[in-house]
Structures are given as C-alpha cells and as structure tokens.
Amino acid sequence: MALHIVRIKPLVAALLLVLPLVCGAQSFEVSGESSLTGTFTLNVYDADSTFHTFTAKANKGRFLFSGQVETPVVASIEHPAMQRPLFFYIENSTIAVSVNASRPEASVIKGSRSNSEYRYVMEQLRSAADPNAFLRQYIRENPSSIYAPFILFDQMSALDEVVVRQLVTQLTGDARNVYHYAMLRRWMRQTPAVSEGSEMPDFAYLDAKKNRRTLSEVRDTTCHTLIFFTAGWCDICSRQRDKASHLLDGKQADILLINIDDNPNGWDAQYLKQLSVDHLPFMILVDPRGLVVARDLRVWELERYIRHIPSQAAASSR
C-alpha cells in the first residue's frame, strides 16, 4: 500500500505542474505599453460575425486585457489619440504589445504566432511589385488560410468588384469560419446601390425628433458631405465619429449623422436597404456635385480623401 502511494504522488505532482499550463493555454493575456494615457479598447472579431469589446485604463504607461478565443482571430487596439486602429491576430497565449500611436502598423507585437504569420504575408504583399497580383496568387495557393479573408477585406478597395467576388468564392475550409469572411459574403449578397463616381441617390430618414428628412433637403451643395450612419448602442461608432469630426475640422465639409435607432424599423428601414448599409459605423463621402467619392469608408482612410477638400468652412454636425 505504501509503495502504491509513493507511485501516485509523483504522478499527482506532475499533473499539478501541467494543469496551470493547460489552463493558461485556454485564455489570452494582452499586456501593452504606450506613452498614451487614458483608456484603451480591444475589439476581438470572433467567427460569429460579431466583435467583443474590452476596455483597460493605462497605469504608468501599461494596460492589460484578458479573455478567451476558440481559434486565432483578428483583434484591434484603439485609443482616441491613435491615428488608426492597430490590427493584429490574437490567440490564447501571453501577448506583449508596444503601441506606436502615430504609426500603429509599426507597433511591436510578441507572443502571437498567428500574428507573426499574418505579418509575414503582409510584408510580402507590401513589397510585391504588383500587390494585387500577389494577393490573387496567395488566395489561389492558400484558399483555406485564416488570414486571407481579412487581407482581402482590407485590400478590396484597390480591387475591381468582379475580382473581389471571384476571390471570395475561392476561399475554402477554415477561411470560411472567420469574421471577415462573413463580412465579405454579406457584401456580396447586396449589390451596392451606390458606387464611387456615381450620383448619390436621394433617400428619406427620420431625425432625432422623428421628423422625416431627405438628403436633398439637408445636403449643402457648396461643400462635401460625410454621411455617417450610427446607433446609440454602437460604442465604436461614437469614437470613429469623433475622429471623423476632428479630421474634417477646418475643411469645407459637413457631417450628416443618421442614427438608425431613430427609425422604428431599425435595420429594416428602407433607406438602409436602398444604400446597402449592413454594418456600423458606415460612411459615404459625397462631393458638392452630389457624386459619391467613397462608400463603406473606414475612418482611417478618410485622411487621403480630405486632402482634396478645400480648407474653408469648418465641419459641422447636423
């Protein structure tokens, strides 16, 4: 009996040593350092077509997030003072992030194997003589890559719509189980009612006082208009709205805020279907002539468009 006990003890001890390692692998911990103060936000884009938000307040230049993901997924770190979000791949491991606020893409990330693999592909794409040709070849040779949908979603504005649709249909296996594949499929299901260079169609919506308004009534034909679709429950919308307002400050441009909560039909509102608005925030930039400059615009993409907007009238919100 004594010998039996002696044999079990080393086994139990070994299990006790292994158990924390196994448990630790079931969650992620993102420790960050930055010169910025205040609150950082971590958005985790899960495969269920939603994203989950975590917040952490910086303490002496450091912040910490913890949670759990089933598989490696895209995540982003945001801060009001950052030029644009820092996108990276997160997995159940201990990840260290050194944030470069002015150039998020130059931030240093350690501890995420999936992010290292993603960064390697992106470095090849950026250094390629023809990035679009590289992307097409990458998807053709790696149709089940979990990185392909996000890279395609990020680069789709530089591709012809027909090419994007062809590349999406080539994705297989694990590539179809990630957030941005669902976003690409959603985009494909709806033929855009407006496209760059086309005339922005007039549409009706309800304002905060439940009054019926139309775009033709409120749009100032002497300046650019950024149509910004938002909702009261959308935290990321408010942050991107503030950034858009800051970028347009001093420019001859207006921001037209449309809150989908003001319409009792919510997502079933006719104007959302008419304009193919299927996620928030959603932005459409229209020039003084009423032509679409860009649709489904990301706030960090706004900078390259506003360079061509005269710096005369200050931006305003209606």
Supply the pTM of this predicted model. 0.61
Lowest-confidence segment of 11-20, 83-92, 183-192 by average pLDDT? 11-20
Which tokens go with 74? 């895209």
3-state secondary structure the chain: CHHHHHHHHHHHHHHHHHHHHHHHCCCEEEEEECCCCCEEEEEEECCCCCEEEEEEECECCEEEEEECCCCCEEEEEECCCCCCCEEEEECCCEEEEECCCCCHHHCEEECCHHHHHHHHHHHHHHHCCCHHHHHHHHHHHCCCCCCHHHHHHHHHHHCCHHHHHHHHHHCCHHHHHCHHHHHHHHHHHCCCCCCCCCECCCCEEECCCCCEEEHHHHCCCCCEEEEEEECCCCHHHHHHHHHHHHHHCCCCEEEEEEEHHHCCCHHHCHHHHHHCCCCCCEEEEECCCCEEEEECCCHHHHHHHHCCCCCCCCCEEC
Average pLDDT over residues 9-37: 65
Of 108, 74, 115, 112, nearest to 94 by C-alpha is 112
Return the CATH number of 204-317, one of 3.40.30.10, 1.10.3720.10, 3.40.50.300, 3.10.129.10.
Answer: 3.40.30.10
* pLDDT at residue 57, as a whole number: 96
Which tokens go with 32? 């960050």
Average pLDDT, the chain: 87
Residue 316 has pLDDT above 80, yes or no: no
Lowest-confidence segment of 42-56, 183-197, 288-302 by average pLDDT? 183-197
Lowest-confidence segment of 66-80, 225-239, 301-315 by average pLDDT? 301-315
Class of domain 26-115: mainly beta
What is the band of 25 on the pLDDT scale with cuts at 50, 70, 90? low
Residue 315 has pLDDT above 50, yes or no: no
Give the model confidence (pLDDT) of 270-280 as tens digits.
888 888 888 99
Residue 49 has pLDDT above 70, yes or no: no
Residue 15 has pLDDT above 50, yes or no: no
What is the band of 121 on the pLDDT scale with cuts at 50, 70, 90? very high
What is the band of 120 on the pLDDT scale with cuts at 50, 70, 90? very high
Which tokens go with 260? 């989908």
Domain boundaries, given as residue ranges, for the chain: 26-115, 128-189, 204-317
* pLDDT at residue 193, as a whole number: 56
Letter string b/e over residues 32-70, b meaning 16 or more CB atoms within 10 A of that residue's CB: bebebeeebbbbbbbbeeebeebebebeeeebebeeebe
Of 200, 258, 206, nearest to 229 by C-alpha is 258
Give the model confidence (pLDDT) of 240-262 as tens digits.
999 999 999 999 999 999 999 99
